[in-house]
């Protein structure tokens, strides 16, 4: 069972738009670095390595950022 089996797709999309702080339609490196802070007030920033690893895992088209479809696919892998 994946996260998308538990969370409706529209909710995953809402989370993406919350994390997309600059409203560009993509999560760039700076936004990915702060992803844990988006879920918890005591969340920490990811390390540079963790940020790069998450970008590599989520960025399927190689443009250096994560779009909403890529984010949804990444959540589905959890």
pLDDT digits (tens, 9 = 90+) for 38-50: 888 899 999 999 9
- Residue 36: which domain range? 3-76
Where residue 64 sits, what CATH number does that domain have?
1.10.238.10
Instruction: Find out whether 2 is annotated in a ligand binding site.
Output: no
Domain count, the chain: 1
What is the block-wise mean pLDDT of the chain (78 residues), using blocks of 10 residues? 74 95 97 90 93 96 97 90
Instruction: Find out whether 59 is annotated in a ligand binding site.
Output: yes
Predicted pLDDT of residue 2: 62
d(CA 4, CA 47): 26
Instruction: Find out whether 42 is annotated in a ligand binding site.
Output: no
d(CA 9, CA 59): 19
Give this prediction's pTM: 0.86
Report residue 62 CA to chain centroid gap.
15
For residues 55 and 64, the answer to whether their CB atoms sit within 8 Å is: yes
Instruction: Find out whether 48 is annotated in a ligand binding site.
Output: no
Instruction: Find out whether 26 is annotated in a ligand binding site.
Output: yes
SS3 of 19-50: the string is HCCCCCCEECHHHHHCHHHHCCCCCCCCCHHH
């Amino acid at each position: 069972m994946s996260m998308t089996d538990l969370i409706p797709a529209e909710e995953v999309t809402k989370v993406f738009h919350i994390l997309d702080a600059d409203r560009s339609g993509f999560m760039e490196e700076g936004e990915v670095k702060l992803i844990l802070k988006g879920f918890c007030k005591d969340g920490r920033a990811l390390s540079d390595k963790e940020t790069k690893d998450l970008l590599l895992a989520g960025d399927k088209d190689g443009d250096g950022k994560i779009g909403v479809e890529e984010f949804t696919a990444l959540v589905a892998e959890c």
